[in-house]
């Protein structure tokens, strides 16, 4: 019996034949693992330690302080985040591979200590000695004495989060607008005046309550971990969809009023096409810089700005696919069966028209990471206390001889952007049936 052809299996086989793209997928997986495990890989608090007979796990504990009693009954209070663990004379200890946290200064090695420079260390007896290999700053420090390697590891979480989430926003906007433009054209989207204006007002409120009101919680979730980030992002998306749906139903009720019941034709294709042309005509970096200068510096605002300006390529491809798909037989069959337009678009047409958009999404993530690095280098977009690859490069401007502040973060940016671009090339070739071999 002849095996049934599976396009997904064929595309995966074609993708694996592209060695640069396949290797890039593994590199991206490694970067994602580093980002997820950043608190374990780079932390100035011990993963495990024993002090005066007390066993502690400072790096994993949520305690604000430890209280340890000695033999005489005297209580010693230890605050994990400010304790000088390296000078405490611990009985047993397991350090993170990089025993430093980002934004934590080693004042003995401040003022741009290079990877090969002499570094100093204060031991548990208070003596100044040469830095032990275990605690050495292998990639050097910046002006404040902050460890560069620790900053690179934790900045991977920031850059990947901004790249993926901002393109998630851009993908959502691009797919929806492109699908509406391609499916309805200029003459097929008809609604009541009340429902249209109420839904438009509902979108503004949905954005406000889902993202602006919860901006601090989203920013804290990014620093806490991937689980908290996914949970809070899911809550925000649920709030957005819920508020938008509520106003859609309210608008449907208002549409019964005589003045608001008047039918209006929405030129979806022309409106979306003109929006795309306006955004494409403005240099992207200048547009993002202008919006970032107005908005409050935060990761959430930066993701929203990049997402709201990066959807045009996805919308164009989705629109082109829908212009072809809307005349196919299975779409006409759905219409004849009385399916709603929303069901036809999102359950039947979109899964068959989303393929080309994957390529643009991969390139878009690389562009978003590059945009974030550029903004961080210029000192806008993200809070000053947040360590990013761009901010590390920016710190190198204070001392031109500190080559390690430019080379290592620059290599991280280059590798990540190159990996996503190679993935995009691999996806483009794998999803193109004309290249079938």
State yes or no: pLDDT of 34 exceeds 50: yes
In this structure, the answer to whether residues 314 and 297 fall within a common structural domain is yes
Q: Give the integer Cα–Cα distance in Å for 378 and 390.
A: 8
What's the token pair of residue 127?
């003596």
Q: What b-and-e string marks burial along 121-150, b requiring 16 or more CB atoms within 10 Å of the CB?
A: beeeeeeeeebeeebbbebbbbeebbbbbb
Which residue among 72, 95, 118 closes a domain?
95
Position 209 in a domain: yes
Which residue among 211, 242, 265 closes a domain?
265
pLDDT score recorded for residue 2 = 53
Position 218 in a domain: yes
Short-list 421, 365, 407, 410, CA closest to 388: 410
Short-list 176, 422, 174, CA closest to 308: 174
Position 8 in a domain: no
Average pLDDT over residues 330-357: 84
Q: What are phi and psi of 200, to 5 degrees?
A: -65, -45
Position 260 in a domain: yes
pLDDT score recorded for residue 304 = 82
336: how many CB neighbours lie within 10 A of its CB? 8
Short-list 165, 157, 148, CA closest to 411: 148
In this structure, the answer to whether residues 82 and 151 fall within a common structural domain is no
pLDDT-based confidence at residue 404 (cuts at 50, 70, 90): very high
Stated length of the chain: 437
What's the token pair of residue 250?
């309210």
Of 218 and 121, which is predicted with more confidence? 121
Short-list 88, 35, 94, 86, CA closest to 60: 94
In this structure, the answer to whether residues 309 and 180 fall within a common structural domain is yes
pLDDT score recorded for residue 279 = 87
In this structure, the answer to whether residues 68 and 85 fall within a common structural domain is yes
pLDDT score recorded for residue 1 = 46
Which residue among 217, 236, 265 closes a domain?
265
pLDDT score recorded for residue 5 = 59
Position 426 in a domain: yes
Average pLDDT over residues 150-162: 89
In this structure, the answer to whether residues 383 and 298 fall within a common structural domain is yes
Give the C-alpha distances (Å, rounded to integers) separating 399 from 148, 386, 403, 424. Answer: 15, 20, 8, 37
In this structure, the answer to whether residues 53 and 172 fall within a common structural domain is no
Position 11 in a domain: no
pLDDT-based confidence at residue 27 (cuts at 50, 70, 90): very high
Position 2 in a domain: no
Average pLDDT over residues 365-381: 83
Average pLDDT over residues 37-49: 90
CATH code, domain carrying 405: 1.10.3720.10
In this structure, the answer to whether residues 239 and 303 fall within a common structural domain is no
Can you list the alpha helix ranges (DSSP code H) found in 109-225? 148-184, 193-207, 215-224
State yes or no: pLDDT of 332 exceeds 80: yes
| Domain that includes residue 139, residue range | 105-145
Q: What is the mean pLDDT of the chain?
A: 84
Give the C-alpha distances (Å, rounded to integers) separating 212 from 129, 298, 384. Answer: 50, 11, 20
Q: Which tens digits make up the pLDDT trace of 267-307? A: 888 989 999 998 888 887 788 778 777 777 777 778 888 88
Q: Which tens digits make up the pLDDT trace of 108-128? A: 898 889 898 899 998 888 888
In this structure, the answer to whether residues 172 and 243 fall within a common structural domain is no
In this structure, the answer to whether residues 174 and 278 fall within a common structural domain is yes
**Which of 104-108, 190-194, 286-290, 377-381 shows the highest mean pLDDT?**
104-108
What is the number of structural domains in the chain?
Answer: 4
What's the token pair of residue 89?
């004379």
pLDDT score recorded for residue 42 = 92
Residue whose entry in the numeric block shows the structure tokens 């649920």: 238
DSSP, collapsed to helix, strand or coil, labels residue 129 as strand
In this structure, the answer to whether residues 57 and 204 fall within a common structural domain is no
In this structure, the answer to whether residues 153 and 213 fall within a common structural domain is no
pLDDT score recorded for residue 191 = 79
Position 231 in a domain: yes
| DSSP structure string for 4-64 | PP-HHHHHHHHHHH-HHHHHHHHHHHHHHHHHHTHHHHB-SS-SEEEETTEEE-GGG---S
Q: What are phi and psi of 205, to 5 degrees?
A: -65, -40
In this structure, the answer to whether residues 341 and 431 fall within a common structural domain is yes
Chain-centre distance for alpha carbon 291: 18
Short-list 33, 42, 188, CA closest to 103: 42
First-to-last alpha carbon distance for the chain, in angstroms, is 22
């Amino acid at each position: 019996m002849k095996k049934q052809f599976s396009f997904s299996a064929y595309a995966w086989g074609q993708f694996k034949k592209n060695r640069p793209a396949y290797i890039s997928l593994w590199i991206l997986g490694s970067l994602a693992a580093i980002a997820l495990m950043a608190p374990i890989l780079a932390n100035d608090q011990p993963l495990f330690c024993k002090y005066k007979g007390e066993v502690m796990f400072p790096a994993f504990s949520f305690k604000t302080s430890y209280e340890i009693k000695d033999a005489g009954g005297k209580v010693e209070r230890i605050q994990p985040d400010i304790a000088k663990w390296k000078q405490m004379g611990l009985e047993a200890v397991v350090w993170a591979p990089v025993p430093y946290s980002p934004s934590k200064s080693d004042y003995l090695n401040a003022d741009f200590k290079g990877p090969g420079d002499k570094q100093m260390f204060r031991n548990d007896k208070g003596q100044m000695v040469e830095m032990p290999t275990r605690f050495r700053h292998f990639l050097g420090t910046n002006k404040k004495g902050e460890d560069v390697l620790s900053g690179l590891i934790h900045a991977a979480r920031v850059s990947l989060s901004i790249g993926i989430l901002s393109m998630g926003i851009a993908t959502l906007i691009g797919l929806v607008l492109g699908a509406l433009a391609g499916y309805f054209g200029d003459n097929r989207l008809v609604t009541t005046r009340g429902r249209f204006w109420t839904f438009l007002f509902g979108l503004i409120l949905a954005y406000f309550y889902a993202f602006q009101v919860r901006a601090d919680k989203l920013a804290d979730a990014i620093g806490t971990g991937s689980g908290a980030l996914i949970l809070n992002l899911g809550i925000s998306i649920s709030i957005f969809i819920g508020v938008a749906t509520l106003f859609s139903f309210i608008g449907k009720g208002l549409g019964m009023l005589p003045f608001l019941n008047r039918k209006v034709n929405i030129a979806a294709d022309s409106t979306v096409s003109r929006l795309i042309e306006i955004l494409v005509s403005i240099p992207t970096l200048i547009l993002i810089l202008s919006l970032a200068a107005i908005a409050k510096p935060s990761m959430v605002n930066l993701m929203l700005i990049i997402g709201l300006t990066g959807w045009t390529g996805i919308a164009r491809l989705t629109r082109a696919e829908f212009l072809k798909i809307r005349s196919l037989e299975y779409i006409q069959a759905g219409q004849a069966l009385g399916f709603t337009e929303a069901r036809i678009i999102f359950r039947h047409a979109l899964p068959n028209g989303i393929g080309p958009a994957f390529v643009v999404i991969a390139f878009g993530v690389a562009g978003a990471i590059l945009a974030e690095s550029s903004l961080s280098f210029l000192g806008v977009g993200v809070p000053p206390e947040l360590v990013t690859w761009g901010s590390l490069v920016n710190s190198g401007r204070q001392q031109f001889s500190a080559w390690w502040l430019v080379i290592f973060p620059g290599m991280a940016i280059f590798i990540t952007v190159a990996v996503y671009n190679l993935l995009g090339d691999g996806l483009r070739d794998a999803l193109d049936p004309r290249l079938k071999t």
